[in-house]
Structure 1
Amino acid sequence: MATGFFWDEKCFWHAGGNYALTLPLGGYVQPLAAGGLPENPETKRRLKNLMEVSGLTDDLSMRHAAPASWEDMARIHPETYLTAFKDMSDAGGGELGLRTPFAKGGFEIAALSAGLAKQALADVLTGDLDNAYALSRPPGHHCLPDWPNGFCLLNNIAIAIEAARATGLAQRFAVVDWDVHHGNGTEAIFYDRDDVLTISLHQEANYPLDTGALADRGRGPGEGYNINVPLPSGVGHVGYLEAMERITLPALRRFKPDVIIIACGFDAGIFDPIARQLCTAETFRLMTRQVMQAATDLCGGKLVMVHEGGYSEAYVPFCGHAVMEELSGSTHAAPDPMADTVAKRQPNARMNAVFSELIGEMATELGL
C-alpha cells in the first residue's frame, strides 16, 4: 500500500498575529511568537517528529505540494475576500473574522495549506497513491466562503474538492468530519448540493454555538446530503465507534462516493483543553479502520485525510500516529503512554447505554 504524507515546514510558521508578539527572523527560520491561541504549531510538528523517531515515515511517501492557486481558491472564496486577505497579509497581518489571526505572509501559508490538501486528493484520485494524509495548517473546516472563523482562513477540503472536479478526477465526494467542533464552513459551502455528502460528528454546542443541529439536512437539491451528529459531552471510545457504525457508515454506503475525505481533528481526544469528549488514540485508530473498509467497499480504497484541530501537545501526536499506522499498514508503533489512564476515564456501562440510545434515535431520525 502506498500512503502519502503531505507536509511543509512553512505551515508550522503560521502565527497568531495580533494575539501574539511575533518576531520575524528574516524569512528563513520560524518566527518567534510569545502567547497566542490554542491553535499552535506544536501539535502538528510533534506528530511528524514522533513518526520520524518511531520510523513510521520510512513506510510513507513523504511529499510536498505547490500552494493552491488563486484560481483554485476563487472556486470557493469570492475575489473580494481573497483580495482583502492578501492585502492585510502583505501589510503585516491582522484578523478578518472571528478567532482567525495571522501574521505577515499568512495568505501564502494558508494557500500552501490548501495546496497540500489539493495535491493529496489529486494523487489518490489519479492512482499515484492508495491513500494520503495532509498535515494542513492553518485548518479549514470552519471557513465559510467569505468569512473565516475558528482558526480557519481558507476551506482546504472544499478547495481540494473543486480542484479535483475541475480536472475531471471525480464527481461524488463524501466528507466525514470527526473534529470535535462542527464543520460549519464545509457544511455551508455544499449545503445546496447533492454531489457532496457532508457528515459532521461533533460535541453539541461547543463551537460554533449556533450550528450543527441534527435537523440541518441540506437545502433544495442538497436536502438529505448534510448529516450532523451532535454528541453530548462525555462521549468516549465506545460511543464514537457506535456513531460511526450506525450513522456514518450507512450514510456512506447509501451515497456511494468516488472518494472519502476525512476532516481529521484530534480534539475529541480525552486531554484536549477546549473540548469535553473522551476519545483515545485507539478510538482514532479504529475509526480509521472503519472508513478504510468503507473506502475499500465503495470507491476502490480511495481515502484522504486532512488535518484539522486538536490542541493537546502531549496527546495529539499519539492519536495521529495511530491513524498513520492504520492508514499505511506500518508496523512501526508508538504505544499510547497514557493508555491505562484513558481506559480508567471512559464512560461507565450506564452512560454508554445512554449514549447508545441517543445515537439510535438520531440514526432513526436520519433514516439510517
Structure 2
Amino acid sequence: MPDTGFYFDEHCLWHTTGEHALIMPVGGWVQPPAGAGHAESPESKRRLKSLMDVSGLTAQLGVQSARPVSECEMVRVHSSDYIERFKALSDAGGGNAGLFSPFGAGSYEIAALSAGLARQAVFDVLDGTYQNAYALSRPPGHHAGRDGSMGFCLLANIPIAIEAANAEKGLGRVAVLDWDVHHGNGTQDIFYERDDVLTISIHQQSCFPPGSGLGEERGAGAGTDCNLNVELLPGAGHQSYADAMELLVLPALHEFKPDLIIIACGLDANNFDPLSRMTAHSGTFAYLTCAVMKAARDLCGGRLVAVHEGGYAEAVVPFCAHEVIATMAGIKSDVEDPFRGVAEANQPPADFVQFQRERLETFAAELIAD
C-alpha cells in the first residue's frame, strides 16, 4: 500500500467558466477546449496529471476518486440560500454567485465532487489508509464564503472536509496552512471565531481580495489568536518563504499542536504566474512541503493533507505541484523543471530579502508581546 493518496477525477477538469467548444456550450459531454481563455483553466491540472503519468509518479500513489459532498455537508459551512442560488444558476446554464467566480452548466455537481475529493483525502488520512494525501480539487475553494462564491472558488472545499470530519470522525484540532499567493479569506472568515481550527495564510500583500489578509486580523471571540496572516511584499522569493516558515508558521503550528495539518496548496507564487508578482519556484514548494511534513511528524503522527488551490501559469504549475506530491510520497523524481533556473536567477537582491526578514521578525516579536 502506498503511503500517499492522490485524489483525482476527470470530471473536475470539465468545470467551465462559460466557454464554448465550436458552437456548443461547454457542459454535459462537451469538454472544454485546451485554450480555455479564463485564468482558471483546466489545463494546468491536466498537464500536472499527464506529467505525473509520464514520470511514473502516479503509479506509486494510491489513486482514487470520491463521492460528491451532499447538500447536508455543504450547509454545515455555507448558507442554505447560497447553495440554493448556486444550484439554480448551475441548472439554468451558469452564472456568477459572487465576485469573479463565473461558472457554467453542471458546475454545482462538479464543485460538490471537488469538495468530495478533499473530504475523502481527509477521511482516509485520519483512518490511517494513507500517511498523507493530495487532492487535485477543481474548482478551488479558499475564497468561497458562507454566503457566496469568490475568486474562482464555488465551495469551501477544506472547511467542508473539516466539518465532515468533525461530524463523523471526531477530528479535534486542525491547522490549515494556506500558501496560495492570494489571501485565504474564505477559510479565515469561516473559522474566525473558532479555537479548534488554526488558519494561517502566507500571501502577497494587497493582492487579492483587496484590503484582506492584514496581520492584525488575529481571530475573534473564542478564535482570538487562532488566525495568522503572513504578508509578503511583491517580489518575495524562495528565502522570504523560508523565513516566513521559520519565524512565524512553524512556531504557530508547534504552539497550536494540531491533530491534522491541511495545506491549501496554491502554486501561484511561482515566478511566472500572471496573477501575482512573486518569484518562488518548484524548489520553494518542495522546501515548504518538507518543513510542514516534519512539523506533522512531530505534532500529529505525520497526518497531512494537501488540497489544490490556485496557480495560473499552465506550463509551470505542473512542475511545482509534481515537486509537492513527490516530496509527500518520499520519491526522488527524475523530472527536471526547466523553469526553475530562470526563477532562481530572478530572485530579489540581498537587501530586499533582509528588509523582508526584518519585517517578519518585527511581526513575530509583536505576536509574542501580545
Amino acid at match of 2:126: L
Q: Judging changes above 3 Å, is the alpha-carbon distance between structure 1 residues 352 and 308 closer, same or farther for their aligned structure 2 residues?
A: same
Alpha-carbon contact 2:27-2:105 (below 8 Å) kept: no
Q: How does 1:155-174 map to 2 (within 5 A)?
A: 155-174=156-175
Q: How does 1:186-265 map to 2 (within 5 A)?
A: 186-265=187-266
What per-residue deviation string (whole Å, max 9, x for no partner) do you get for residues 236-284 of structure 1?
A: 0011011011100000000000000000000000100010011010000
- Cα distance, 1:35 vs. partner? 5.4
Instruction: For residue 367 of structure 1, give the secondary structure of its aligned residue in structure 2.
Output: helix
Alpha-carbon contact 1:172-1:196 (below 8 Å) kept: yes
* RMSD (Å) for aligned C-alpha atoms: 1.4
**Higher alpha-carbon deviation: 167-176 or 146-155:** 167-176
Alpha-carbon contact 2:267-2:320 (below 8 Å) kept: yes
Alpha-carbon contact 1:21-1:34 (below 8 Å) kept: no
Instruction: For residue 194 of structure 1, give the secondary structure of its aligned residue in structure 2.
Output: coil
Distance 2:89 2:269 in 1: 33
**Residue in structure 1 matched with residue 144 of structure 2 by the alignment:** 143
Amino acid at match of 1:332: S
Distance 2:146 2:38 in 1: 23
What per-residue deviation string (whole Å, max 9, x for no partner) do you get for residues 90-119 of structure 1?
A: 111111111111111010000000000000
**Higher alpha-carbon deviation: 344-353 or 194-203:** 344-353
Alpha-carbon contact 1:122-1:169 (below 8 Å) kept: no
**Residue in structure 2 matched with residue 333 of structure 1 by the alignment:** 334
- Cα distance, 1:342 vs. partner? 1.5
Distance 2:338 2:34 in 1: 29
**Residue in structure 2 matched with residue 305 of structure 1 by the alignment:** 306
Alpha-carbon contact 2:36-2:42 (below 8 Å) kept: no
Amino acid at match of 2:178: D
Distance 2:307 2:222 in 1: 26
Distance 1:99 1:247 in 2: 31
**Residue in structure 2 matched with residue 290 of structure 1 by the alignment:** 291
Instruction: For residue 347 of structure 2, give the secondary structure of its aligned residue in structure 1.
Output: coil
Amino acid at match of 1:226: N
Distance 1:195 1:35 in 2: 40
Query: 5+ residue gaps in structure 2?
Result: none
What per-residue deviation string (whole Å, max 9, x for no partner) do you get for residues 47-95 of structure 1?
A: 1110111111111001100001111101001111111111111111111
**Residue in structure 1 matched with residue 350 of structure 2 by the alignment:** 349
**Higher alpha-carbon deviation: 323-332 or 154-163:** 323-332
Distance 1:206 1:26 in 2: 32
**Residue in structure 1 matched with residue 120 of structure 2 by the alignment:** 119
- Cα distance, 1:26 vs. partner? 7.5
Instruction: For residue 319 of structure 1, give the secondary structure of its aligned residue in structure 2.
Output: helix
- Cα distance, 1:24 vs. partner? 4.2
Alpha-carbon contact 1:247-1:363 (below 8 Å) kept: yes
**Residue in structure 2 matched with residue 6 of structure 1 by the alignment:** 7
- Cα distance, 1:355 vs. partner? 1.1
- Cα distance, 1:367 vs. partner? 1.8
What per-residue deviation string (whole Å, max 9, x for no partner) do you get for residues 131-186 of structure 1?
A: 00000000000000002110001000000000000013411010000000000000
Please, what TM-score do these two structures have when normalized by structure 1?
0.97
Amino acid at match of 1:287: L
Amino acid at match of 2:241: Y
**Residue in structure 2 matched with residue 92 of structure 1 by the alignment:** 93
Distance 1:83 1:52 in 2: 38
Distance 1:346 1:161 in 2: 36
Alpha-carbon contact 1:96-1:147 (below 8 Å) kept: yes
What per-residue deviation string (whole Å, max 9, x for no partner) do you get for residues 18-56 of structure 1?
A: xx3453478335244875421110111111110111111
Alpha-carbon contact 1:235-1:347 (below 8 Å) kept: yes
Percentage of identical aligned residues: 54
Alpha-carbon contact 1:21-1:33 (below 8 Å) kept: no
Where in structure 1 do 4 or more consecutive aligned residues deviate above 6 Å? none
Alpha-carbon contact 1:126-1:169 (below 8 Å) kept: no
Instruction: For residue 158 of structure 1, give the secondary structure of its aligned residue in structure 2.
Output: helix
Amino acid at match of 1:211: S
**Residue in structure 1 matched with residue 44 of structure 2 by the alignment:** 43
Please, what TM-score do these two structures have when normalized by structure 2?
0.96
Q: How does 1:311-326 map to 2 (within 5 A)?
A: 311-326=312-327
Alpha-carbon contact 1:130-1:303 (below 8 Å) kept: yes
Distance 2:348 2:191 in 1: 35
**Higher alpha-carbon deviation: 358-367 or 152-161:** 358-367
Q: Judging changes above 3 Å, is the alpha-carbon distance between structure 1 residues 26 and 142 closer, same or farther for their aligned structure 2 residues?
A: closer
Instruction: For residue 150 of structure 2, give the secondary structure of its aligned residue in structure 1.
Output: coil
Does 2:367 match 1:363? no
What per-residue deviation string (whole Å, max 9, x for no partner) do you get for residues 313-362 of structure 1?
A: 11101001111111001133311112321111011211111111111111
Amino acid at match of 2:352: M
